[in-house]
């Protein structure tokens, strides 16, 4: 009898065979040597059965048959990969020991446990738990195989996660679909993530910009000149600010206070998956899924990085020697100069910024391995470069600065100046060839997007004499507008998912929230993709926008009184409980009882909800085929559909496409003789009489503005907006009112 090794994917199985049994004979779907048989799953070979596996009546979707709560969940093989499942079953009959070599994480554990349960495999189980696929690590992992029983709690958590998603998805999707006669998808994680995006977009649409004025003073003392911002309250009265400017311009003043302190900026933390996805999105516009897939290829195919599906930014003591080996392996590569400048003594077991075993659970931070990176695609090279540079930065000292804070007084008016004088570049030399490095998160986790404009960074020496006078050489009034919250990008959405929607700047608190985020590092990308696929969100450049479908889904759920289903924090707490189950500190049975009660409550609430009118599921959105010229294009429409017992319809959570819902009417259509109403579609404001031929459309994105409901109402009823800061077609800034040029088509122009 031989030992049967079950890997998660073919590449991983072949890597294992090459490391521990290189003479194993290749039988296409498995490899066999003297002591080992190595085979693999192909992702999920088995899943939870559809409702009709429990009772034929569930082939038809009927709200009176809900909730569906199985006493014991049934398993069903994936028809596309059933041959490989049979191979595993046959090989197991020739084996007296199993080695679970699936990915070292919750999903990998679940894939193996499903195979084991379905095939009723009773052999003893060992667990291979490794973080990279280099031959050395694989061999070491087999020398230190764990007992399978040590991971039983992780199996319980994985099973609870899957069954909880089934209960919420199946019951929620069927309840809303049958009640409103439109295929609607809801889910334990996807719905609160959609709610985050919906709520942010509503904030943006409700935002009313306020014009204000800043005063920038220019000062000179001997050969030194500097700028400072006026410290009065935010001013909306331009005349008042200009009067202050006239008062101080050309006048002598004094240095009211001058403080100098030295500060250090340490390297950014090593990557976990979410941070890598966020930065790849910000720098290269990679989607979360693209980053995950690319990182998986670097790990599995090229073996040049460690396991990417990690939620830790730290390493353990055992990783420190490996980090030094990797540094040596980077000699002679494109990073040779940076390796030569590295200080190896900075990376050691006592450096808690790098080595903190208490913050490493399943896997350490993402690291490059000591394998040479050859044959990478352009995208793989970009991601690998991010990981290598972050790794190398740990071997460099902090950047050092002198921060000068000056308070200048002229004519009893105060101006503040903050100058950050570079003393030593330190680790930032790693990024010296990358001009946009400032866009990265700071060491404290704050976004540079909101950097204080008053702070000026200089590389030349700066100093003034505190007891010498100054002259205000100029005073410039700057017009500004308050800005609405920013649309989510995939990068900022990942950050919100990680902290269950809480905008947490404190690094320690944010780390603590990682156990109660929305989904896991391994599943967040799939959740975002699902929202796109079911038509709830769409991309506009990097921005994530809620479609009319997405709006309706949230409004119907909240309208039914099931706000809990849209609560990021509540779902985050469920994720925390799953983590506690995996550690053995919480009961999976109690968790599932609570989920069953929640699924029942969803059905009860929807059952008494009023059915939305059929017209409320029709969405007319101006298509992208019409621009500022006012040329007409066909409207798009989403119809109400009657649920059928098709295979596609039964795949409730992931395959169900939602439909737009209740339409908010803005005002009456101004098109002569129309009589319709204006409402907001996906990309603009259209007329409800589109079927009768009305071609009136106002694009939401017009002249550099994202128009709000109130601005469109003003446009339609008064013919123009208030004075706004705009952008011409060639990108030139302008100021003026948007006016309707053509009442029949909604064509716009600017009145300056």
Band of pLDDT at residue 572, cut at 50, 70 and 90 = confident
The model's pLDDT over 346-359, given as tens digits with 9 standing for 90+, comes to: 999 999 999 999 88
CATH number of the domain enclosing 363: 1.10.290.10
**CATH number, domain containing residue 404:** 2.70.20.10
Q: Clarify whether residues 392 and 419 are in a common domain.
A: no
625 within a domain of the structure (yes/no): no
* Six token digits for residue 40: 């693999």
Of the listed ranges 106-110, 432-436, 478-482, 490-494, the least confidently predicted one is 432-436
CA–CA separation, 375 and 92 (whole Å): 37
What would the mean pLDDT of 554-580 be, rounded to a whole number? 91
CATH number at residue 597: 1.10.460.10
CB 8 within 8 A of CB 40: yes
Calpha distance 501→555 (Å, rounded)? 19
Per-residue pLDDT tens digits for 515-544: 678 988 989 999 999 999 988 999 999 999
Confidence at residue 652, expressed as pLDDT on a 0 to 100 scale: 33
Q: Do 225 and 306 fall within a single domain?
A: no
For the segment 509-520, the average pLDDT, to the nearest whole number, is 71
CATH at residue 62: 3.40.50.140
- Given 58, 110, 271, 307, the catalytic residue: 307
State the Cα angle at 120 between 116 and 121, rounded to 5°.
60
Q: Are 40 and 12 in contact (CB under 8 A)?
A: yes
pLDDT value for 371: 94
How high is the pLDDT of residue 617?
55
State mean pLDDT over 265-275.
Answer: 96
Per-residue tokens: 724: 């706004």
- Please check whether residues 53 and 121 belong to one and the same domain: yes
On whether residue 368 sits in a domain, the answer given is yes
What's the pLDDT score for residue 705?
82
pLDDT exceeds cutoff 90 at 548? no
**3-class SS at 739?**
strand
What is the tens place of the pLDDT at every residue in 667-702?
888 888 888 888 887 678 888 887 778 888 998 888
Domain containing 576: what range?
Answer: 161-204+488-617
- Whole-model pTM: value is 0.78
Q: Give the model's pLDDT for residue 619.
A: 55
Q: Taking CA 703 as the corner, what is the angle to CA 699 and CA 707, rounded to the nearest 5 degrees?
A: 50
Active site residue 431: no
Share of the chain above pLDDT 70, in %: 88
pLDDT of 630 = 33
What is the spatial distance between Cα 259 and Cα 246, in angstroms, rounded to a whole number?
Answer: 28
| Rounded alpha-carbon distances, angstroms, from residue 359 to 172, 305, 354, 524 | 36, 20, 10, 21
641 pLDDT exceeds 50? no
pLDDT at 435 over 70: no
Residue 405 and residue 256 in one domain:
yes
Nearest to 458 by CA among 408, 505, 407, 422: 422
With a cut of 80, say whether residue 436 has pLDDT above it. no
Picking from 182, 165, 170, the residue whose alpha carbon sits closest to that of residue 658 is: 182
pLDDT on residue 731: 65
Query: What is the tally of structural domains in the chain?
Result: 5
CA dist., res. 368 & res. 322, Å (int): 10
Banded pLDDT at 452 (limits 50, 70, 90): very low
In a shared domain, residues 262 and 228: yes
Counting residues of the chain whose pLDDT is more than 90, the rounded percentage is: 67
* Residue 15 and residue 71 in one domain: yes
Helix axes 288-300, 378-393, angle to 10 degrees: 80
Which residues does 398 contact at the CB level (< 8 Å), separation at least 6?
264, 265, 266, 267, 426, 427
- Block residue for tokens 């479908």: 549
578-582, long-range: CB within 8 Å, 24+ apart, which pairs?
Answer: 578/157, 578/160, 578/161, 579/157, 579/515, 581/153, 581/156, 581/157, 581/160, 582/106, 582/153, 582/154, 582/156, 582/157, 582/158
């Amino acid at each position: 009898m031989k030992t049967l090794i079950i890997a998660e994917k073919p590449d991983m199985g072949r890597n294992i065979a090459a490391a521990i049994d290189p003479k194993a004979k290749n039988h296409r779907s498995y490899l066999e040597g003297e002591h080992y048989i190595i085979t693999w799953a192909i992702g999920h070979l088995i899943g939870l059965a559809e409702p009709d596996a429990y009772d034929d009546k569930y082939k038809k979707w009927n709200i009176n048959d809900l909730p569906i709560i199985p006493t014991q969940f049934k398993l069903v093989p994936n028809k596309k990969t059933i041959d490989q499942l049979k191979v595993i079953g046959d090989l197991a009959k020739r084996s007296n020991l199993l080695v679970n070599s699936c990915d070292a994480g919750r999903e990998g554990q679940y894939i193996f446990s499903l195979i084991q349960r379905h095939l009723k495999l009773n052999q003893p189980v060992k667990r291979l738990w490794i973080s990279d696929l280099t031959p050395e690590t694989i061999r070491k992992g087999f020398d230190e195989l764990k007992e399978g029983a040590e991971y039983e709690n992780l199996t319980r958590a994985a099973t609870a996660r899957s069954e909880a998603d089934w209960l919420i998805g199946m019951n929620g999707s069927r309840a809303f679909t049958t009640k409103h006669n439109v295929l609607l998808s809801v889910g334990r994680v996807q719905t609160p993530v959609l709610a985050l995006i919906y709520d942010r977009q509503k904030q943006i649409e409700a935002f009313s910009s306020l014009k204000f004025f800043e005063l920038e003073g220019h000062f000179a003392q001997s050969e030194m000149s500097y700028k400072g911002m006026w410290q009065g309250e935010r001013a909306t009265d331009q005349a008042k600010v200009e009067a202050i400017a006239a008062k101080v311009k050309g006048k002598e003043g004094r240095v009211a206070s001058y403080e100098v302190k030295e500060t250090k900026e340490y390297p950014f933390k090593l990557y976990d998956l979410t941070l890598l996805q966020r930065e790849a999105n910000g720098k290269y516009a990679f989607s979360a899924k693209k980053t995950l897939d690319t990182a998986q290829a670097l790990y599995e195919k090229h073996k040049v990085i460690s396991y990417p599906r990690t939620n830790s930014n730290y390493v353990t003591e055992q990783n420190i020697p490996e980090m030094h080996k990797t540094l040596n392996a980077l000699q002679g590569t494109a990073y040779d100069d940076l390796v030569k400048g590295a200080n190896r003594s900075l990376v050691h077991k006592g450096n808690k910024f790098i080595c903190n075993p208490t913050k490493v659970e399943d896997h350490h931070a993402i690291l490059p391995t000591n394998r040479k990176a050859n044959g990478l695609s352009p995208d793989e090279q970009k991601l690998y470069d991010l990981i290598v540079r972050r790794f190398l930065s740990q071997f460099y000292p902090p950047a050092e600065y002198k921060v000068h804070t000056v308070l200048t007084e002229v004519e009893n008016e105060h101006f503040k100046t903050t100058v950050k004088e570079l003393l030593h570049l330190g680790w930032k030399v790693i990024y010296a060839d990358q001009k946009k490095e400032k866009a990265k998160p700071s060491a404290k986790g704050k976004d540079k997007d909101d950097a204080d404009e008053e702070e000026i960074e200089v590389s030349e020496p700066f100093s003034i004499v505190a007891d010498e006078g100054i002259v205000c050489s100029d005073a410039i009034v700057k017009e500004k507008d308050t800005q609405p919250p920013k649309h989510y990008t995939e990068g900022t959405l990942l950050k919100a998912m990680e902290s269950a929607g809480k905008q947490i700047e404190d690094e320690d608190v944010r780390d603590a929230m990682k156990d109660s985020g929305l989904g896991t590092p391994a599943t967040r990308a799939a959740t975002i993709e699902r929202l796109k696929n079911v038509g709830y969100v769409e991309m506009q450049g990097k921005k994530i926008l809620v479609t009319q479908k997405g709006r309706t889904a949230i409004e119907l759920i909240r309208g039914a009184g099931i706000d809990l289903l849209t609560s990021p924090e509540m779902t985050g707490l469920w994720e925390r409980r799953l983590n506690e189950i995996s550690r053995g500190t919480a009961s999976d049975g109690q968790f599932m009882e609570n989920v069953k009660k929640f699924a029942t409550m969803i059905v009860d609430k929807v059952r008494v909800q009023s059915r939305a009118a059929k017209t409320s599921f029709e969405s007319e959105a101006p298509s992208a085929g019409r621009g500022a010229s006012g040329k007409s294009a066909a409207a798009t429409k989403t119809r109400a559909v009657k649920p059928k017992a098709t295979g596609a319809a039964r795949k409730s959570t992931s395959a169900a496409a939602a439909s737009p819902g209740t339409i908010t009417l803005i005002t009456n259509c101004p098109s002569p003789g129309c009589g319709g109403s204006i409402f907001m579609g996906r990309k603009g404001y259209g007329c409800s009489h589109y079927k009768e031929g009305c071609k009136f459309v106002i694009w939401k994105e017009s002249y550099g503005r994202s128009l709000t409901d109130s601005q469109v109402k003003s446009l339609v009823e008064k013919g123009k907006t208030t004075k706004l800061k705009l952008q011409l077609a060639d990108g030139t800034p302008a100021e003026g009112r948007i006016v309707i040029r053509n009442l029949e088509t909604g064509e716009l122009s600017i009145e300056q």
